[in-house]
A = this chain, B = another copy of it.
Amino acid sequence: MSQYKAIKLVKRPQPGPVSQDIFEVVELDRPNVENGQLLIKQTHMSLDPAMFGWMSPDRESYIPPVELGSVMRSSGVGEVVASKHPDFSEGDRVMGMMGWQEYALSDGQGINKVQTDAPDEMVLSVFALPGLTATQGLLNVGKPKQGETLVVTGAAGSVGSIVGQMAKADGLTVIGVVGSDEKAEWIVNELGFDGAVNYKTDDIPTKLAELTPNGIDLYFENTGGPIQHAVMGRMNAHGRVVVCGMIADYDKEQPSPGPSWVPIIKKRLSIQGFTMPDHFDQIPSLLQQLTPYVTKGDIKYRAHVLEGLESAIEGLNMFLSGENQGKLLVKL
């Protein structure tokens, strides 16, 4: 190739669905590979809810926003096509932050060789951000105990589906909150969850009470929304809440109020927020925690694969509508 396509962020998003015109599709010249650099041909890239944070100008976020005029940030899998970097050779299969572009020039920082021969879809759906996030949030923050009851929101999503399956493997009762009957059936019949709440059609408090007769010990929050209030009302004494995502609020001008803090005292609850960038240096140990679940066959996944670089733009809105079925990926 002499030219390749990339997508730059050129405007900040407004609340609501992402508008096409905040991005610009450009043709870039193939760069020269200097000493210490490598060039990667990206084969699959990952779309993640965290991207809403990366695009936003909120200076208080946990990592700096993508600068206007820069290629949109994303992680992906690809193959090294040229290398003047001592740690990488042509033909290596690598993963890491590559951005919305067909080719990525890198100094190697944040790029790792893929250690498994699993297909791209599984690498990005399990061994990358989703699995690492589930592992850190569930095992290291939530500290689940056999016999406890877990409620996880966004339960058919990339993180939530792994959280629920790990918790089932560890002997918990697992209830998932989803936005469609199809997703409810998938998590119960395919993934082995003990029950599902469809927050769009069920009477949330009633259904949740039916499914959690012994209360809730652990709450893994990926979405926000009214479910928060119902779950907090059913937490057991000394319950733990892991706050991983608030996708329901990412497209709102004003974030919705949270639940009253009264149960936090009455039940002596702990609530802990976390984001993966704080834990990137622990990735080797997180992979060690995660891999046995995968090896034993406890983790199923499904990938929702879009085709072609430009499909990423519309793909973002699937997080808001909930219409994706499985981990959102873009095949290049």
| A residues apposed to B, CB below 8 Å | 53, 58, 60-62, 221, 224, 228, 237, 243-246, 249, 255-275, 278
- CB of B274 within 8 A of CB of A228, answer no
Q: Which residue of B lies closest to A270 (CB)?
A: B272
- CB of A273 within 8 A of CB of B273, answer no
- CB of A257 within 8 A of CB of B259, answer yes
The contact sample of 16 A-B pairs, CB cut-off 8 A, is A62-B265, A62-B267, A221-B261, A224-B262, A245-B265, A246-B265, A255-B260, A256-B260, A257-B258, A257-B260, A258-B261, A263-B273, A266-B273, A266-B275, A271-B271, A271-B272
Min C-beta distance of A282 to chain B, whole Å: 14
- CB of B265 within 8 A of CB of A273, answer yes
- CB of A261 within 8 A of CB of B224, answer yes
- CB of B278 within 8 A of CB of A268, answer yes
Residue of A249, A270, A273, A274 contacting most chain B CB atoms (<10 Å) = A273
Min C-beta distance of A209 to chain B, whole Å: 13
Residue of A244, A265, A272 contacting most chain B CB atoms (<10 Å) = A265
- CB of A268 within 8 A of CB of B275, answer yes
- CB of B262 within 8 A of CB of A246, answer yes
Min C-beta distance of A257 to chain B, whole Å: 3
Given contacts A243-B261, A261-B258, contact A237 B62 (CB under 8 A): yes
Q: Which residue of B lies closest to A271 (CB)?
A: B271
Given contacts A258-B258, A258-B260, contact A267 B224 (CB under 8 A): no
Q: Which residues of B contact A246 (CB under 8 A)?
A: 260-262, 265
Q: Which residues of B contact A258 (CB under 8 A)?
A: 257-261
How many angstroms between the C-alpha atoms of A275 and B224 in the bound complex?
A: 27
Q: Which residue of B lies closest to A257 (CB)?
A: B257
- CB of B278 within 8 A of CB of A273, answer no
Q: Which residue of B lies closest to A274 (CB)?
A: B268
- CB of A60 within 8 A of CB of B275, answer no
Q: Which residues of B contact A62 (CB under 8 A)?
A: 237, 265-268
- CB of B278 within 8 A of CB of A265, answer no
Q: Which residue of B lies closest to A62 (CB)?
A: B266
Min C-beta distance of A8 to chain B, whole Å: 25
Residue of A61, A264, A270, A278 contacting most chain B CB atoms (<10 Å) = A264
- CB of A268 within 8 A of CB of B273, answer yes
How many angstroms between the C-alpha atoms of A285 and B268 in the bound complex?
A: 21
Additional A-B contacts beyond A62-B265, A246-B260, A270-B270 (8; CB < 8 A): A60-B266, A246-B262, A249-B262, A256-B260, A257-B257, A258-B259, A258-B261, A268-B273
